[in-house]
Structure formats: structure tokens, C-alpha cells
Amino acid sequence: MSESLRVFVALPLGDSLRARLAELQHRLRGSLPERAVRWVRAEQVHLTLRFLGDVAADRIDSLKASLAAAVSGSAPLALEIGGLGVFPNPRRPRVIWVGLEGALEPLACLQQAVAQAGEAFAREDDRQTFQPHLTLGRVNDRVPANGRAVAEALPAWRFDEQLPWPA
């Protein structure tokens, strides 16, 4: 049995954007009960384009080549940070995220190209509609009150600054 790697394709963020997201997380943290949310470390925040699941290690080079060919003509993306939200819904929040605005059509085309290039390598069937977002934290569901606290605090959270997306 060949070794496999858990693989997802994502766009990294620039340092200045990561710093701003860390500031946002700090502000949000202050309005919630301690340990209500498991916050994603700022250096690990990214924009996931496609989750592939387990991919055989000996197929990684082929996957890289397929992805490189699929995105070779892509232009830089002009995206901005949008509003805050939760998945799956405000009544039962599990994930806290910040959305993206701006050139969403080119981003959707890039995501589609990545999804198609990775299809032959994917073990996970990912038929969900692409919703561009950056995950900031996951609600600790061991304490049901945490979800309620997030749901109650969400309308009060505002993030009006427009941040340029790094090219």
C-alpha cells in the first residue's frame, strides 16, 4: 500500500493581510467566552480552492504538473476582505469566516480550473458550491452555549476596512 498525503489546493496570504486578520481575531476573541472558539493561527489562514483528500505520494508530482498547467494563464486577483459570517448558519455556527469581495468571477474561474485539474487525483467528492472565504476559527461544540454566544455576538461584529489582496 502506497503512502498518501492529505491534500488541498489553496492560495497563501501576504504577511500584511495575515497581520490584519490576526488583529480581527483578537477583537473577536474579546467578545466571546474564553475557549468558545478554536482560532486558526494567522500564519495558517489561507483561501482553499479545492480539497482533494488523500492522494498517493507517488502521484503528487503529476498533480503539481496538472495544476501548474491549469493555472498557467491566470492573472493576479484583485480581491478585498468582505464581511464576517458563519457556517452552516447563524443558529448553529460551527465556523467563523471572513468573506471576499472584488474580482470574484476570475477567482471562480481559477477555482474551477483547479477543481478540474485535481479531479483525477481526488478521493473526496467535493460538490459543494465554492464560497470564497478565510476561516478564522471553529466554534468549540463541546459546550452548546458557545454556539449561542457566537450567534448573539455576530450582529455586533463589524469589519469595515477594505484590505487589498496581495497579487
Instruction: Say what the pLDDT of residue 147 is.
Output: 77
pLDDT in tens, 117-144: 999 998 767 677 899 999 999 998 776 7
Look at 126 and 45; give whichever has higher pLDDT.
Answer: 45
Q: Give the dihedral sign, CA 137/140/141/143.
A: negative
pLDDT score of 163: 42
25 vs 126, more confident: 25
pLDDT of residue 165: 43
Indicate whether this model's pTM tops 0.75.
yes
In sequence order, which residues have a C-beta less than 8 Å from that of residue 129 and are 6 or more positions away? none
Residue 9 CA to residue 33 CA, distance in Å, equals: 33
The residue with greater pLDDT, 17 or 159, is 17
CATH topology of domain 4-156: Cyclic Phosphodiesterase; Chain: A, (3.90.1140)
Task: Count the neighbouring beta carbons within 10 Å of the beta carbon of residue 109.
Answer: 14
Q: Which residues pair with 28 in a beta bridge?
A: none
Q: Rounded CA gap, 20 and 40, in Å?
A: 14
Domain residue ranges of the chain, discontinuous segments joined by +? 4-156
Of 17-21, 42-46, 58-62, 161-165, the one with minimum mean pLDDT is 161-165
Per-residue pLDDT tens over the stretch 54-103 = 999 999 999 999 999 999 988 888 888 888 889 988 888 899 999 998 98
pLDDT at 157 over 80: no
Comparing CA positions, the residue from 27, 44, 28, 48 lying closest to residue 36 is 28
The Cα angle at residue 114 between residues 111 and 115, in degrees rounded to 5: 85
